[in-house]
Chains A and B, each alone.
Chain A
Amino acid sequence: MPIRHHMTDALLLAYSAGQLSEAFNLVVAAHLSMCDECRAQAGAFDAVGGAMLEHAPASEMGGGSLAQTMARIAAAPATPRAAAPRRGLLPGPVRDYVGGDLDAVRWRPVGMGVRQAILPTAPGAKARLLHIPAGQAVPDHGHRGMELTLVLRGAFRDATDRFAPGDVEIAAEDLEHTPVAEAGEDCLCLAATDAPLRFTALLPRMLQPLFRI
């Protein structure tokens, strides 16, 4: 199935320029692991960075800097030749943050059968894995900031469209949505938010601090 929902150019440029928070970087890196179209576009934005570097104002290096760098190299441990990349159920960058594959995820229940695992990223934005049982709805919520949701397995639908593996939903501040996992297969997502979610119902709102949603 081809990926239908891609990253925007603005997000890819920000990723390439290094302007995203770590949590958003992680979702973009996971999407690029699944989507060569966006990976090539991110590579093009990297090339802008390369051209920028080539034209950057040169700043003279300190005396003896080359010798110091050679000493650093001599002291550095040998980097092994890259082994053939290991394939997994989770994209490589997500495995790095989980510390293993899907079976190593430390899930916590957040109610209604939905489970989440918050991934250890720098403060400012949060990245989490979400496991939504087939047919189950995630509580109706809005956002104070932006939410990026990448489907890893299964699929979900909301009022806007259907999202399958590799698809990313970019929800801005104004979107109130109730994602529902499709029947038949549990849905696994990687989501990043730069502000706490805003739940419309009272109960999830009370649980929010407890579950750090």
Chain B
Amino acid sequence: MFDAPTDDMTAPWHARPVPPAPWAAVRRSGGASAVKDGTAETDWAAQVALVRDNRDSAAFARIFRHFAPRVKGFLMKSGASAALAEECAQDVMATLWTKAHLFDPARASVSTWIFTIARNRRIDALRKARRPEPEDLPWGPEPAPDQADTMAMQQDTDRLGRALTALPPKQRALIERAYFGDLSHTEIAAETGLPLGTIKSRIRLALDRLRHQMT
């Protein structure tokens, strides 16, 4: 994916083997929105950056309108009452604002990041337990991750979403039950049938870069 003709990436990790990505050519569209399947899609990472840098409440309102109802729906599917889900969804969105500087778009799309906040809030609200997270990795000298990495992560997550909707209904239902909290960990099968290799490799590269900066 890093040997596309337009690639200007010169960092030392470029030589690491990564799976080929035939869609690499569409990656560099950049800008505030990317055109995909003929429809304009909001670049959510750019919106989060506006919240982080400018305390931009219009950008926040856009994120809120899109994600808050989804977070609420996710929490209700996970067994929360409408009132608790509303309360937690507001909380999740407020966390997005206060922790916008902790979001790393090279390692997760905005929807993935919001999912992790909502999941942790659910554990806290429904199970009254803490959620241990892995040790933080340091930020590098460049506060803004490469725009291409950000776009690629977003597109990979979109692609994963399409793969998810294309799964046979039975298999998809099983994954949904796992994520909505309907399965115990012993019932969870790791075989999702989803193409996770690309995203894993991409996150691995971002981690390698952070580790590299630590030494």
B-contacting residues of A (Cβ < 8 Å)?
Answer: 8-14, 16-22, 24-26, 28-30, 32-33, 36-37, 39-41, 43-62, 65-66, 68-70, 72-73, 76, 78-79, 81-82, 84-85, 91-93, 96-97, 121-122, 146
Contacts and interface: CB of A to CB of B under 8 A. Distances in A.
A24 B178 CA distance: 17
A15 to B, nearest CB: 8
Given A47-B108, A47-B196, A49-B116, A56 B102 contact: no
Interface residues of B, number: 87
B200 interface: yes
Interface of B: 57, 60-61, 64-65, 67-74, 76-77, 82, 85-86, 89-91, 93-94, 97-99, 101-102, 107-109, 111-116, 118-120, 122-123, 127-139, 156-158, 160-161, 164-165, 175-176, 178-179, 181, 183-186, 188-192, 194, 196-197, 199-201, 203-204, 207-208, 211
Contacts of B137: 85
Given A10-B188, A17-B188, A55-B165, A50 B111 contact: yes
Contact of A68 (B90, B188, B211): B90
Contact of B132 (A25, A45, A47, A56): A25
Contacts of A43: 107-108, 112, 199-200, 203
A39 B207 contact: yes
